[in-house]
Structure 1
Amino acid sequence: MSNASPTLGKLLRSLRDRKGWTLKQMSEHCGIPLSTLSKVEHDRLTLTYDKLLQLSRKLGLRMSELFAEEGEETAQTVTARRSVGDLDHAVRVETPNYDYFYLCTELRRKRMIPVITTIRAKSLEQFGELVRHAGEEYVYVLKGRVAVHTQFYDPMILEQGQSVYIDSNMGHAYLAGDGCEEAEVLGVMSSADEELMQSLLIIHEERKRAAEPVVAKPRRGVSGENKTARPRRKVG
């Protein structure tokens, strides 16, 4: 039996086989071009977080179900599960202030969500509102210096090799410390909520949208604003 973790292409192909769909039918259901799906299935292309979210929503699946292998048992006393995580097979979420690499995403119903995060935000103004979500979390500093802000405690500084364990329901934020352009941490979020990963990805999406600048669109039909003059026809 192979111990290698399945690729996104293999998981997507397995999902399509379970549905009994052709590539064209899959494309019609999820709104992703057929050529893109074909490249993913042949491991020549991966999908961004936005596309994965689109896929799960269009197909009516939780994000975790996209990474489930066929034949997985829904309840087992001893699962003997194993997953080898690496950045090449991680689900990557990029925002202006952070890069997140979610590891071992092919496992369903995980009680722990491992993620490597690159932190660039240096102030609470950059970060925005403190984050809250279900469960608890552990964060270990791999590189740099991290300022930890929480709802009920004074800010603290974590140096490389130090860590913190907190209640995730408490508002919290991780920032790059003074003199540090960016920091890298390993975080492990834990919760009895099977939708934890989906909740985290939704938080990322909402914060990413909130950080996007609003571009005013020109109004049509107003003098001097993108209006093209048309010659009048003479009536007589």
Structure 2
Amino acid sequence: MPDEIYDEYPSMTLAREAGEVNHIEPLRLGERIKTIRGNLGLTLEEASQRTGLARSTLSKIENEQISPTFQAMQKLAHGLAIDMPQLFEPPKKIIATGRRDITRKEAGKPHPTQTYEHELLATQLSNKKMMPFKSRVRARSFDEYREWIRHDGEEFLLILEGEVMFYTEFYEPVRLAAGDNVYYDANMGHMLVSVSDDDALILWVTAK
């Protein structure tokens, strides 16, 4: 994308958090089955009734004392109403990073352009997975744009004030009023034009 387009429309670059390391965890099938049962709120006895496996057998499987046969895994998948591959998916680790950034009203970072007046939000955080910003839409005509705006990722757009005409290269233009929103592929050419008396105010969230 040419540099002038980046000036026109704030985009983002997504990167891995520093220190992230990829590694393969050993498969603990019994632990996985116990987690699934717990998430379903089932006791060993209830899981036994659903799967047709003896309670003692289930307990030994969950405690890694015995390995389930293929037939037993089929019964587990059917009785717990899950797909077989789910038995082999390791539990996801949820790690809270404590990241937070508050932007007070009208205290975002200004980024004016020829067709928009952007206010970048949450600017203190780096390596964000999404980029939120508010924009005043100055453009009043399709012809004010040199070319389609397009960039990597997906985008959510919410009209806060006024009305806009939303142009995209693969769809007919659509008029959006306050409260309307649209989610779209940002690789598709797009642009906005204010059609209300005052410049429209919008919230954009860009993510990859």
CA distance in 1 between counterparts of 2:155 and 2:13 reads 20
Q: Deviations over 1:137-185 (max 9, x none)?
A: 00100000011000100000101111011100000001102x4331000
Output the TM-score relative to the length of structure 2.
0.54
Identity, % of aligned pairs?
33
From 69, 81, 104, the equivalent of 1:86 is: 104
Instruction: List 4+ stretches of structure 1 deviating above 3 A.
Output: 72-77
Are 2:204 and 1:161 aligned?
no
Deviation at 1:80, TM superposition (A): 2.3
Deviation at 1:77, TM superposition (A): 3.4
1:125 alignment partner AA: D
Instruction: Assess, with a 3 A threshold, how the Cα gap between structure 1 residues 171 and 148 changes in structure 2: closer, same or farther.
Output: same
Counterpart in the other structure of 1:145: 163
Deviation at 1:120, TM superposition (A): 1.2
Counterpart in the other structure of 1:233: none
Output the TM-score relative to the length of structure 1.
0.48
Does the 8 Å contact 1:87/1:101 carry over to 2? no
Aligned-pair Cα RMSD in Å: 2.7
Please show how residues 1-236 of structure 1 align to structure 2 within 5 Å.
Answer: 74-75=19-20, 77-87=95-105, 89-177=107-195, 179-191=196-208
- List alignment gaps of at least 5 residues for structure 1: 1-52, 54-61, 65-71, 192-236
Instruction: Assess, with a 3 A threshold, how the Cα gap between structure 1 residues 97 and 89 changes in structure 2: closer, same or farther.
Output: same
Q: Which has the higher strand share?
A: 2
Q: Give the number of aligned pairs.
A: 124
Does the 8 Å contact 1:137/1:168 carry over to 2? yes
Give secondary structure in 2 for the equivalent of 1:107. Answer: coil
Instruction: Assess, with a 3 A threshold, how the Cα gap between structure 1 residues 161 and 143 changes in structure 2: closer, same or farther.
Output: same
CA distance in 2 between counterparts of 1:112 and 1:63 reads 9
Q: Deviations over 1:182-231 (max 9, x none)?
A: 1000110001xxxxxxxxxxxxxxxxxxxxxxxxxxxxxxxxxxxxxxxx
